[in-house]
C-alpha cells in the first residue's frame, strides 16, 4: 500500500506542545519537508527565538541556536557570515519579531542578509495567554484588549511584509495562510 503522507526525517519524534488550532505544527512540517527535498539538511542551522517558537530546536533535527528575545536575525547574520555555505533560517512569532525584534529584522532586511525568516503571525502573544501584539488587528479582542484593539489607544497593527517590502534588501517576501489545503501547498512553495 502506498503512503499518502510520510514524516520527514528533518523532524524529531518529540511531541509538539502547541495549542489546538495553532499552525506552528504545520509550519514546522513544511519547513522540514522543504529542507529534506532540497537535500540541505546537513548544512542547515535553525535559529529559535522566544515565545511559542522557543522549542523549535526540540522539533527540527538539525543544528540549532537559541536566540534572545527578538535577536534571531542578529544571530542568523552572525552564523551566515561565519559559515557562508550554511542554510540558515530563523523561526519567529509576531510577539518576538514585530515587537522587541523589529530593529533586528528591519536592519537585516535593509542589508539584504542571506538567510530565511519564517515569521508566524497569529496576531497575539500566544505563549503568554493571548495578549495584544503589535500585529493584533483593529477590533480584535485579546486578554489585554477585551473590547478589541482600538487605534486611539494602541495605534494601528504593524504590517510586517509591507514594511519590509519598502526596503531594497530583501530578495523575497511572501505572506501565506495555513487555513486550507490549497493555502498550505502555496505556503510550501513560498518556503
H helical segments located in 71-149: 72-82, 94-95, 102-111
Mean pLDDT of 167-175: 98
Residue 20 CB coordination number (10 Å): 4
Where do the domains of the chain lie? 24-122+160-190, 123-158
- For 23-41, what is each residue's pLDDT tens digit? 899 999 999 999 999 999 9
Instruction: Give me the architecture of the 24-122+160-190 domain, per CATH.
Output: 3-Layer(aba) Sandwich (3.40)
- For 92-137, what is each residue's pLDDT tens digit? 998 899 999 999 999 999 999 999 999 999 888 887 888 999 999 9
- For 145-159, what is each residue's pLDDT tens digit? 999 999 999 999 999
pLDDT at 59: 93
**What pTM does this model have?**
0.92
Amino acid at each position: 500500500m502506498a503512503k499518502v503522507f510520510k514524516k520527514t526525517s528533518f523532524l524529531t519524534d518529540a511531541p509538539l506542545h502547541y495549542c489546538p488550532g495553532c499552525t506552528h505544527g504545520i509550519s514546522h512540517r513544511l519547513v522540514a519537508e522543504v529542507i529534506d527535498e532540497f537535500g540541505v539538511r546537513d548544512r542547515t542551522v535553525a535559529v529559535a527565538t522566544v515565545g511559542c517558537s522557543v522549542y523549535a530546536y526540540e522539533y527540527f533535527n538539525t543544528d540549532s541556536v537559541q536566540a534572545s528575545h527578538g535577536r534571531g536575525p542578529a544571530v542568523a547574520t552572525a552564523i551566515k557570515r561565519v559559515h557562508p555555505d550554511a542554510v540558515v533560517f530563523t523561526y519567529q512569532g509576531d510577539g518576538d519579531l514585530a515587537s522587541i525584534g523589529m530593529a533586528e529584522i528591519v536592519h537585516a532586511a535593509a542589508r539584504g542578509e542571506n538567510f530565511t525568516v519564517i515569521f508566524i503571525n497569529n496576531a497575539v502573544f500566544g505563549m503568554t495567554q493571548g495578549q495584544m501584539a503589535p500585529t493584533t488587528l483593529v477590533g480584535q479582542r485579546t486578554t489585554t484588549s477585551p473590547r478589541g484593539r482600538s487605534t486611539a489607544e494602541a495605534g494601528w497593527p504593524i504590517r510586517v511584509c509591507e514594511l519590509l517590502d519598502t526596503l531594497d534588501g530583501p530578495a523575497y517576501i511572501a505572506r501565506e495562510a495555513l487555513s486550507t489545503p490549497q493555502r498550505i501547498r502555496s505556503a510550501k512553495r513560498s518556503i
